Amino acid sequence: MRILIKNVILKKRKVDILVEGEKISKIGKNLNLKANEKIDGKGEKAAIPGLINCHTHSAMILFRGLAEDLPLKDWLKKEIWPREQKLTQDNVYWGTKLAILEMIKSGTTTFNEMYWFEEAQIQAAKEMGIRAKIGLVILDFLPMGQKEKVEKLFYKITKSLITDSQITLTIAPHAIYTVSKENLIWAKNFAKKHKLLIHMHLSETENEVLECLKKYKMRPVEFLNKIGFLDKNCIFAHSVWLSEKEIEILEKRGCSLVYNPTSNMKLASGIFPWKKIRKRKINVCLGTDGPASNNSLNLFSEMKIGAILQKIENKDPTVISAKEIFEMATRNGAKALRINAGEIKVGKLADLVLINLNKVEMFPNCDLISNLVYSDPKNCVSDVICNGKILMRDGKIEGEEKILKIANLKNENFGN
Amino acid sequence: MRILIKNVILKKRKVDILVEGEKISKIGKNLNLKANEKIDGKGEKAAIPGLINCHTHSAMILFRGLAEDLPLKDWLKKEIWPREQKLTQDNVYWGTKLAILEMIKSGTTTFNEMYWFEEAQIQAAKEMGIRAKIGLVILDFLPMGQKEKVEKLFYKITKSLITDSQITLTIAPHAIYTVSKENLIWAKNFAKKHKLLIHMHLSETENEVLECLKKYKMRPVEFLNKIGFLDKNCIFAHSVWLSEKEIEILEKRGCSLVYNPTSNMKLASGIFPWKKIRKRKINVCLGTDGPASNNSLNLFSEMKIGAILQKIENKDPTVISAKEIFEMATRNGAKALRINAGEIKVGKLADLVLINLNKVEMFPNCDLISNLVYSDPKNCVSDVICNGKILMRDGKIEGEEKILKIANLKNENFGN
């Protein structure tokens, strides 16, 4: 399978891009090669790397708008967890498809997932053609979150994914307040044995830190460090309430952190300590969190909110640049998830997005990155390619009407 | 001219809406009446009031992305003001057209403007069919901002607007740090004489307050109160740095305030003191500020950012609701600008927007206001009606390609 993308703007130059198989194989002027598919940007489209959402709970799209204006603890305990008890494999399958639809439409080609009914998610991701890291969730109070079940599921899924390069598993202990020390250590060892990344919530609220201090007489990162949990395979969502000492430990251990500004603001959880982290060699990526606490999966909006939040929080408009936050959503995400993407270069995976420059949001076109971060350009996403396949062409995704129709029909099962 | 809008969802009921002339004349079930234009929502579109942008500088879209990551003072003095010296009537005309294109596409039907070359703005607004309050700018250091010139322009424009109900003038002294006490008093008297609203920046930065304390030995609102400037005709943009006493004065005088969250965050100016203001009877509306400091004119995004900013600032997710911020962008804006709009009711001006519910952002459709505020629904805006005329139909605005084409051709004159 070869895709020839003609006349697109890449870093201010008009080029052609050849995609062969899963990868970008050539970038240059006037490539006149045979291909199965052709896209002509006519000099009016820019090519950017596909965006990478490093922390979400996709199927929570089913709960969007159902419970607003509540603190995290009440929101989880009173509104979300009771509804989640009623979820079925079928609900999660349709919820994940819907969420992926929203992701592709907003230029996302990879997501790092943490939710239940993992097989349903895999089915949805495969059908939609997106790249995904599916977390096997460990959660003490949930029957399907028990380690024995997770282990069994791991072997079952691994067998079915042997020929799949796009979808891989991670181990996802929910958080230190929902997973015992024993189970955290089990998760760590399991991840090590099977060479898996670990995806976990960390220090999202001040309360989490206070409870940890009470229970373990240490702050969360100190505790995790003590039990040997931390290394470069860890990806920690939120990471809001961190002391200088904790930041130092995270840097030393090479962990990746996920900035989730919208969810942290909406639930009033706290503000990611970017200014302190910026000085360190810590890989920071970006995530939307689940669509029930955001309520969107649009990483463009997440970049804007993430940048302006740091500017006001630090009373300094220079504390973060458009380029820095754009890298969180692309290159840094790829680094955290160990995928050969996040940049448009020969040899990289063909995960890329074309932006229609002939839209008012792209005017004037003097700084593409600034427009992408600040001008609200979701509707400028015209074409999305993932793993060498076209997922969206001129704004259209195959079967999208059907997904919306079935999801609407099934609406009553979705916890409303 | 009659427009019949069939089968749209209005406050959870499916209804038909009849527009006659400039106004909504009937709302009911199964209205089968003759009309010049028909729009069928097929039960898949919701009707909402057109959004009202209470503070912007439209033509600054020409400077979008040109100067990022700077504090307000440097941004204005080093980047914006020198470029503005070179602006022409023609630049502002095209810039305003572009900005209105972006506004209509994102569901805005009225904007409260403050910029130079007012006649060019009026021409642009008339051609695009949007409702506008055009501010006659008073600014001491600008030749065309002198009161004699403003007075002359007022009489000239007023004559040309006699038959226009959509476009009216306001008096717009830039700010207390750019307009002398004498000129502020002149502006006040001029506004009183001609029954005009006053549109002004107020206490946007801490520095503005400190300079005022130094110059007048009073805080800005105290100073304006003392010179008899304050009454219910005043609309103050930003209003970030307010003491309790100042808030009390503003309430007593019946002034309207404009919340501009994105610009305040991006320029690190400060945070609107909503929690204190919420307790008072003060009319708060919403604005994007100019597209050079936002960098968008999308009021949906402004609502989201405005709501989540207050939640995190006050460490309280309940401090502002989706409904409250939606009212800022509709009913409260109409109140401030004295227009009979902001709600869909018989007898109100026909300024309304249809939202395509058959989009992923609107799923699940259990709380429309929550989805409008939080789900990033700009691309769900399908039809826009203003003053009884259809400005956008199924996402298309007449002549939009031409506007973009000409604006792009003229790009080099636009300060790049």
Q: What per-residue confidence (pLDDT) applies to B103?
A: 98
For residues B307 and B322, the answer to whether their CB atoms sit within 8 Å is: yes
Q: Tell me: pLDDT of B301 over 90.
A: yes
Strands A234-238 and A197-202: parallel
Least CB-CB distance to A317: which of B266, B315, B376?
A: B266
DSSP H stretches of helix in B195-298: 206-216, 220-226, 244-253, 261-266, 274-278
* DSSP sequence for A287-356: ----TTTTS---HHHHHHHHHHHHHHHTT-TTSS-HHHHHHHTTHHHHHHHT-S-SS--TTSB--EEEEE
d(CA B115, CA B98): 15
CA A346 and chain centroid, separation: 24
Q: A371 to chain B: which residues are within 8 Å by CB?
A: 64-65, 295
Least CB-CB distance to A262: which of B308, B320, B411?
A: B308
Cα-Cα-Cα-Cα torsion B170, B175, B176, B181, nearest 10 degrees, comes to: -40
Question: In percent, how much of chain B has pLDDT > 90?
Answer: 88
| pLDDT tens track for B30-50 | 999 999 999 999 999 999 999
Q: In terms of residues, how long is chain A?
A: 416
d(CA A358, CA B408): 9
For residues B5 and B30, the answer to whether their CB atoms sit within 8 Å is: no
A312·B268 Cβ contact <8 A: yes
- List Cα–Cα distances, B410 to B81, B122, B320, in angstroms: 20, 20, 43
B64·A105 Cβ contact <8 A: no
B404·A370 Cβ contact <8 A: no
318-337 of A, contacting B, C-beta below 8 A: 318, 320-322
B296·A378 Cβ contact <8 A: no
| pLDDT tens track for B65-86 | 988 877 777 888 888 888 888 8
For residues A259 and A237, the answer to whether their CB atoms sit within 8 Å is: no
Amino acid, res. B332: N
68-97 of A, contacting B, C-beta below 8 A: 68-71, 75
In the DSSP assignment, the letter for residue B75 is I
Closest chain B C-alpha to A21 CA, distance in angstroms: 30
Q: Tell me: pLDDT of B416 over 60.
A: no
Closest chain A C-alpha to B69 CA, distance in angstroms: 5
Taking Cα atoms as reference points, which of B169, B142, B144, B141 lies closest to residue B155? B169
Q: A360 to chain B: which residues are within 8 Å by CB?
A: 98, 101-102, 105, 400, 404
Give the CB-side neighbour count of residue B71, counting CA atoms within 13 A.
Answer: 9
A371·B298 Cβ contact <8 A: no
Q: What per-residue confidence (pLDDT) applies to B76?
A: 81
**B407: confidence class by pLDDT, cuts 50, 70, 90:** confident
In chain A the first and final C-alpha atoms are separated, in Å, by 43
A65·B407 Cβ contact <8 A: no
For residues A161 and A125, the answer to whether their CB atoms sit within 8 Å is: no
For residues B257 and B282, the answer to whether their CB atoms sit within 8 Å is: yes
Q: What per-residue confidence (pLDDT) applies to A104?
A: 98
* DSSP sequence for A164-227: -SSEEEEEEE--TTTS-HHHHHHHHHHHHHTT-EEEEEES-SHHHHHHHHHHHSS-HHHHHHHT
- For Cα atoms A84, A86, A87, give the angle at the middle one, nearest 5 degrees: 65
For A249, the token pair is 């430990």
B370·A295 Cβ contact <8 A: yes
A304·B301 Cβ contact <8 A: yes
Q: What per-residue confidence (pLDDT) applies to B415?
A: 47
For A81, the token pair is 């967890």
**B138: confidence class by pLDDT, cuts 50, 70, 90:** very high
In a 3-state reduction of DSSP, which class is residue B371? helix
For residues A377 and B106, the answer to whether their CB atoms sit within 8 Å is: no
Least CB-CB distance to A64: which of B70, B320, B364?
A: B364
- List Cα–Cα distances, A232 to A51, A59, A284, in angstroms: 22, 28, 12
Closest chain A C-alpha to B107 CA, distance in angstroms: 14
pLDDT (average), residues B7-17: 97
Amino acid, res. B378: K
Amino acid, res. A240: V
**Lookup result for tokens 């990471």:** A239
User: Is ipTM over 0.90?
Assistant: yes
A379·B379 Cβ contact <8 A: yes
A374·B266 Cβ contact <8 A: yes
Taking Cα atoms as reference points, which of B206, B227, B346 lies closest to residue B270? B206
d(CA A315, CA B100): 31
211-250 of B, contacting A, C-beta below 8 A: none
Q: Tell me: pLDDT of B414 over 60.
A: no
In chain B the first and final C-alpha atoms are separated, in Å, by 43
B316·A268 Cβ contact <8 A: yes
| pLDDT tens track for B101-136 | 999 999 999 999 999 999 999 999 999 999 999 999
The residue ranges of chain A whose pLDDT is under 50 are 415-416
Q: Is the model's pTM score more than 0.95?
A: yes
**B163: confidence class by pLDDT, cuts 50, 70, 90:** confident
d(CA B81, CA B142): 10
User: What sign results for the dihedral spanned by CA atoms B296, B299, B302, B308?
Assistant: negative
Strands B51-56 and B108-114: parallel
B71 → chain A, closest CA residue: A317
Amino acid, res. B234: C
A316·B408 Cβ contact <8 A: no
Interface size, chain A vs chain B, as Cβ–Cβ contacts under 8 Å: 190
In a 3-state reduction of DSSP, which class is residue B405? helix
- List Cα–Cα distances, B313 to A294, B81, B165, B271, in angstroms: 17, 32, 41, 8
Give the CB-side neighbour count of residue A186, counting CA atoms within 13 A.
Answer: 16
Q: What does R_g of chain B's alpha carbons equal in angstroms?
A: 21
Chain B contact probe: residue of A301, A357, A360, A397 with most B CBs at under 10 A: A360
Q: What per-residue confidence (pLDDT) applies to A376?
A: 97
- List Cα–Cα distances, B271 to A17, A138, A274, B239, B262, in angstroms: 45, 40, 19, 9, 10
Q: What per-residue confidence (pLDDT) applies to A85?
A: 87
CA A111 and chain centroid, separation: 4
Neighbour tally for B211: CB within 10 Å: 14
Chain B contact probe: residue of A308, A368, A411 with most B CBs at under 10 A: A308
Q: B105 to chain A: which residues are within 8 Å by CB?
A: 360
d(CA A404, CA A408): 6
A265·B311 Cβ contact <8 A: yes
Neighbour tally for A88: CB within 10 Å: 11
Number of H helices, E strands in chain A: 16, 15
Q: B296 to chain A: which residues are within 8 Å by CB?
A: 361, 374-376
Chain B contact probe: residue of A12, A267, A363, A403 with most B CBs at under 10 A: A363
For B18, the token pair is 């009849």
- List Cα–Cα distances, B63 to A401, B175, B405, in angstroms: 39, 21, 18
Q: What per-residue confidence (pLDDT) applies to A68?
A: 85
Contacts of A174 (CB under 8 A, 6+ apart): A114, A137, A138, A139, A145, A200, A201
